[in-house]
Amino acid sequence: MAASPPVTVPHRIGLYLALVQFLFALTWTVYVIFLPALAAQLGLPKRAVLAILLADQLIFVAMDFALGVMADRVTRHVGRLGVAIVIVTIVSAAALMLLPLAAPYGMPGLFLTLTVVWAATSSALRAPPLVLLGKYAARPAMPWLAALTLLGLGLASAIAPYLTILLRNVDPRWPFALTSLALVAATLGIVWVERRLAARTVPPATQARTPPGPPAQGVIRFLCAIALLALGAQIHQFLNSPPLYLRYAKPADMPYLVPVFWIGFNVLLLPASTATRRWGGLVVMCAGSVVAAIAAWLASGAGSLAQLVAIQSVAGGAWGCILASAVAAALAMGHTGREGRVTGALFSMLALAAAARIATVAAGLQPGPASAPWLLWAPVAAWGLAGVVLLTLIGALRGAPLAASR
CATH number for 118: 1.20.1250.20
Which of 70-106 are b and which e, b meaning 16 or more Cβ less than 10 Å from the residue's Cβ? bbbebbeebeebbebbbebbbebbebbbbbbebbeee
Residue 235 CB partners (closer than 8 Å, separation 6+):
357, 360, 375, 378, 379, 382
Of 155-169, 203-217, 251-265, 357-371, give the lowest mean pLDDT range: 203-217
**156 pLDDT more than 90:** yes
Strand blocks (E) in 204-312 = none
pLDDT in tens, 88-101: 999 999 999 999 99
191 shares its domain with 255: no
Q: How many domains does the chain have?
A: 2
Q: What is the CA radius of gyration of the chain?
A: 21
- Domain presence at residue 5: no
> Which of residues 265 and 362 earns the better pLDDT score?
265
Q: Same structural domain for residues 50 and 184?
A: yes
- Least-confidence region, from 61-70, 81-90, 195-204, 287-296: 195-204
**Residues whose CB is less than 8 angstroms from the CB of residue 363 and which lie 6 or more positions away in sequence, other chains included:** none
Rounded Cα gap, residues 121 and 118, in angstroms: 5
Query: Is residue 319 over pLDDT 50?
Result: yes
Q: Amino acid letter at 163?
A: L
The pLDDT score that the predictor gives to residue 217 is: 80
Residues 356 and 250 in one domain: yes
Residue 207 included in any domain: no
Looking at the fold, whether 142 and 252 belong to one and the same domain comes out as no
Same domain membership, residue 27 and residue 99: yes
Per the domain annotation, does 402 fall within a domain?
A: no
Among 202, 233, 267, residue at a domain's last position = 202
> Helices marked H in 301-373 — which ranges?
305-333, 339-362
Mean pLDDT of 223-239: 96
Its pTM stands at 0.91
What single DSSP character describes residue 135? H
- Please check whether residues 33 and 119 belong to one and the same domain: yes
Q: What is the Cα–Cα distance from 149 to 130, expressed in whole angstroms? A: 8
258 found inside a domain: yes
Q: Are residues 362 and 306 in the same domain?
A: yes
Which sign, positive or negative, has the C-alpha torsion 249, 255, 256, 261? positive
Q: How many CB atoms are located within 10 Å of the residue 368 CB?
A: 12
Q: 374-397 and 216-234 are packed helices; what angle lies between their axes, rounded to 10 degrees?
A: 160
Indicate if 323 and 193 belong to the same structural domain.
Answer: no
Spatial separation of the C-alpha atoms in residues 338 and 177, rounded to whole Å: 35
Tell me, yes or no, whether 3 lies in a domain: no
- 77 backbone φψ class: left, alpha, beta (φ>0; ψ -120 to 50): beta
Residues 186 and 235 in one domain: no
For residues 383 and 243, membership in a common domain is answered with: yes
pLDDT for residue 14 is more than 80: yes
338 close to 329: Cβ distance less than 8 angstroms? no
Q: Do residues 290 and 380 both lie within one domain?
A: yes
Q: 60 in a domain, yes or no?
A: yes
Please identify, among 160, 178, 202, the residue that sits at the C-terminal boundary of a domain: 202
Q: Sorting pLDDT into bands at 50, 70 and 90, what band is 341?
A: very high
- Please give the residue range of the domain that contains residue 337: 216-397
Could you tell me which of 278, 313, 271, 315 has the C-alpha nearest to residue 294?
A: 315
Identify whether 198 is part of a domain. yes
What is the average pLDDT across 121-147? 85
Q: Are 54 and 354 in contact (CB under 8 A)?
A: no
Handedness of CA 381, 331, 193, 267 (dihedral sign): positive
- Indicate if 356 and 238 belong to the same structural domain: yes
- Which of 173, 202, 231 terminates a domain? The answer is 202
Q: Tell me whether residue 275 is in a domain.
A: yes
pLDDT score for 306: 96
5 DSSP 8-state letter: -
1 pLDDT higher than 50: no
Kindly report the average pLDDT of the chain as a whole number: 87
